[in-house]
Amino acid sequence: MKHSETFFTTKNIKNIKLAIFSDLHYYDGFKQKTLDIITKQITNTKPDYICIVGDIVDESKKMNLNPLTTFLNNISSIAPIICVLGNHDEKSGSLWHWKYARNTELINELKKVPNLHLLEDNIYKDNNIVFYGFNPSYDYYEKYDETYESFCKEIDTLNVSLPNDTYNILLIHSPQNIYKYLKNNPSHEFNKIDFILSGHMHNGCLPFWLSHFLNKVFKTNRGIIAPQKTLFPDFAQGIIKRNKDGYIYEGITKLAHSTRKFQYFDFLYSKNIETIEIKKSN
């Protein structure tokens, strides 16, 4: 069963529907049933755009990508796919034993998929909707553990130019630091962003029914544990209303293949896309 949320804007846009997922963590042996569930949910949703917010694969290594590319080809016939990479898409190894590995094979396959737009610090514009994809580096994730200082250094190197009158959506795999940065840097071009989409946090390893309740009732985004091994992290899940509208997707996979024995408990979590509707306020 898919989940859905609605956001509003004063900008002059047509109402749009986004189908969102991230953290697929595909690997050799990934369950075809999961890909079929996602395909069916997207088909039934009839979105205007499909957004994939990183960690498409579990690690960067030689593997059979045919089921993955077939899946992407199938859903790209439903709506344009806008995607960014995550930290797992550019590293190899396993839990606590990672190294940098540019995933050339995956990137080449993504570029072959019709109607798929891989954003690597650039934009995709469709009428008055603009998507920008920001991909922090391997070092940001693995060497510096997503510190605010390392984030500032990377974002300050970008050459960004965004229109003023379009509805601008930022795709960034991790939600850590972006909201703080925009609050502290009101003149940065990214403050033209209207909506931020992220994944990465795996819902703080909370089941959706509990995180959704906490997010709605107590207005909290905290989870149990973050990918950085931080306990009770902020920006772990759900709706964000902090100087920018945003949404942190729960992840298709919570306990990935690379977590070794922990992966066997992933069946406890649901496999659902998220639907976000952006509507022009009256």
Judged against a pLDDT cut of 90, whether residue 260 lies above it is answered with: no
Residue 137: both structure tokens together:
């580096």
**pLDDT of the residue at 92:** 93
Judged against a pLDDT cut of 60, whether residue 17 lies above it is answered with: yes
Give the pLDDT band of residue 38 (cuts 50, 70, 90): very high
Residue 274 is classified by DSSP as E
Query: Distance between CA atoms of 265 and 261, rounded to whole angstroms?
Result: 8
**pLDDT of the residue at 196:** 98
Tens digit of pLDDT for each residue in 124-178?
999 899 999 999 999 999 999 999 999 999 999 999 999 999 999 999 999 999 9
Judged against a pLDDT cut of 90, whether residue 265 lies above it is answered with: no
Judged against a pLDDT cut of 70, whether residue 1 lies above it is answered with: no
Do 25 and 256 meet the contact criterion of CB atoms below 8 Å apart?
Answer: yes
Tens digit of pLDDT for each residue in 41-77?
999 999 999 999 999 999 999 999 999 999 999 999 9
Q: What percent of the chain has pLDDT over 90?
A: 78
**pLDDT of the residue at 184:** 97
**pLDDT of the residue at 2:** 62
Residue 3: both structure tokens together:
């989940």
Query: Distance between CA atoms of 150 and 60, rounded to whole angstroms?
Result: 23
Q: What are phi and psi of 217, to 5 degrees?
A: -85, -45
**What residue spans define the domains of the chain?**
3-280
Query: Distance between CA atoms of 278 and 134, rounded to whole angstroms?
Result: 21
Judged against a pLDDT cut of 80, whether residue 211 lies above it is answered with: yes
**pLDDT of the residue at 281:** 87
Q: How many CA atoms lie within 13 A of 208 on its CB side?
A: 19
Residue 210: both structure tokens together:
């509990």
CATH number of the domain located at residue range(s) 3-280 in this protein:
3.60.21.10
Q: What mean pLDDT is reported for the chain? A: 93
